[in-house]
Amino acid sequence: MNKQRIDLKKDVFNKSQYSKTINTSFEELGVKSIPDQLNEETSIEDFFNLYNQLFYEIPAEGENNSHRYLVIQSGEYIDFDENLEEIEALRQEIARLRTDILELQVKNIELETGQKINIDTNALKDKINQIGSNIEANQSSIAEAQSQAQQSINEANTSTEEQVNTGGVGYF
């Protein structure tokens, strides 16, 4: 066996050369200082400025990144369904009060003129009730659509999480 000579060369830096030559700030790993991270955070004001700029570019419908998605998410956060029930109760009360006012106005006119007015307030009440039923049906379809949209969003998020979690090797 032939022996072969290998010369090893070692570069040595003094303290001042080392800090100028070797980067010790971990910038290459993407780690940022806390002040830099805070400066890059989006404020609520920045969010709404961007939202106003992008308003017409955001699609109206869609499972995510749409106006419908924002409405559903915000509606859940502020318990919008509870508000809808209260609004519906108030609408029914308003409808009842309007029919009561109409009946009183008809009676008042009849007393002032001495003539009978042939207005069927019961038919008007039925019509108002029918409109109220239509409103309730529409609201229940909206609630069902919101529920289905939320379910789709949850399923999409779950499948995205599964795709992300099935990934390869971790380094940390």
The total domain count for the chain is 2
**What six digits make up the tokens of 134?**
């239509």
Residue 142 belongs to a domain: yes
Q: What's the CA gap between 97 and 104, in Å, rounded?
A: 11
H helices of 41-79, in order, are: 44-54, 67-77
- Residue numbers of the domain that contains 74: 43-78
Residue 7 belongs to a domain: no
Residue 38 belongs to a domain: no
- Residue, of 138 and 19, whose pLDDT is higher: 138
Q: What is the pLDDT of residues 117-153, one digit of tens each?
A: 877 777 777 787 788 778 878 887 887 888 777 777 7
Q: What is the pLDDT of residues 60-113, one digit of tens each?
A: 898 888 888 988 888 888 877 777 788 888 988 998 898 889 889 888 988 888
Residue 14 belongs to a domain: no
